[in-house]
Amino acid sequence: MCQTHSQGPAKAGGHGPMSNEEIEKARVELSDVKARTGMKEPTRSFMDDPGTKWRFGAPPDYSLANLYYLKGKTMNHPEGSLEQVVENLVKTWEFERSHKLDHTQHKSVSQEKFLIGANGGKMFDNVGANQVGNYNVLLENCDESMWAKNQSWDDTHHTFKGAFAAFPWEVLKVFSGPPLVTFSWRHWANFTGTYKGNKGKGELVNMYGFATATVSPTLQLETVQLYFDGKEFLEVLEGKKPASVLDKAKSVFGDYIPQAEKKGYLSGETVDCSCF
């Protein structure tokens, strides 16, 4: 159940989540990828703590998520680098929020100081964030026509259920270290399932963003603010826009094409840059 919760088919046109046979095949491929590339699985800490109250009765198995992460990530941060440290911290936070029922058992965050919000929206404390779930926190500032308010933790996971076999995440670059960590990131998945009646064709869906996080001396998260274009991401899943609008961080930085060129002014012209 830990592996298959909110998980779509491996291939476009499939039905339901991956079977046990497909998951076992993925585990074999994960071992092969690590052996042939030398890449390592990310570290999610505090998974073996005794007395943990698990949402699905047992610790999660991240073999499937790690396979898609290793096959799709664009960065390979050096061992011990700040990027790797931040990436593992965020992955630990996601794991604890998704699988540990009791928020007081979440060790990746400061129990007293933790606050999180997205795109200038509502800030949730440790208790509130755990109650509503990550999707409600991160999409709280989206228009209600695209993301309904007052959804429960289960509601939000069922909304995405069946869209992706896995939804990996990576740190791209860290710009400043503790205590105020600033970094860019990427989320991605192949849209193999269905979202609100729209069937994916296996297209790669990217989400790029930026984040700031204050951390304690022991690297517990205190205040986290994330910035990304949730509206365009949801529009792609609903079939209103092609996945290509999200490629190369265009929803964050634009398409890098001069407006004069778009209006036909620079078409075919050669610009003399010798004076610059």
Residue 145 dihedral angles phi and psi, to the nearest 5°: -70, -20
Residue 250 dihedral angles phi and psi, to the nearest 5°: -65, -30
Task: Return the number of other C-beta atoms located less than 10 Å from residue 70's C-beta.
Answer: 19
CA distance 139 to 121: 9
State the chain's mean pLDDT as an integer. 92
Tokens for 30?
A: 């994960």
Q: Is the pTM of this model over 0.95?
A: no
* 154 contacts 51 by C-beta, under 8 angstroms: no
* 208 contacts 191 by C-beta, under 8 angstroms: no
Q: Is the pLDDT of residue 275 over 70?
A: no
Tokens for 264?
A: 């036909």
91-127 pLDDT, tens digit per residue, is: 999 999 999 999 999 999 999 999 999 999 999 999 9
160-183 pLDDT, tens digit per residue, is: 888 999 999 999 999 999 999 999
In 3-state terms, what secondary structure has residue 185? strand
What's residue 161's pLDDT?
Answer: 80
As a whole number, mean pLDDT of residues 2-26 equals 81
Q: Quick one: fold of 20-253? A: Nuclear Transport Factor 2; Chain: A, (3.10.450)
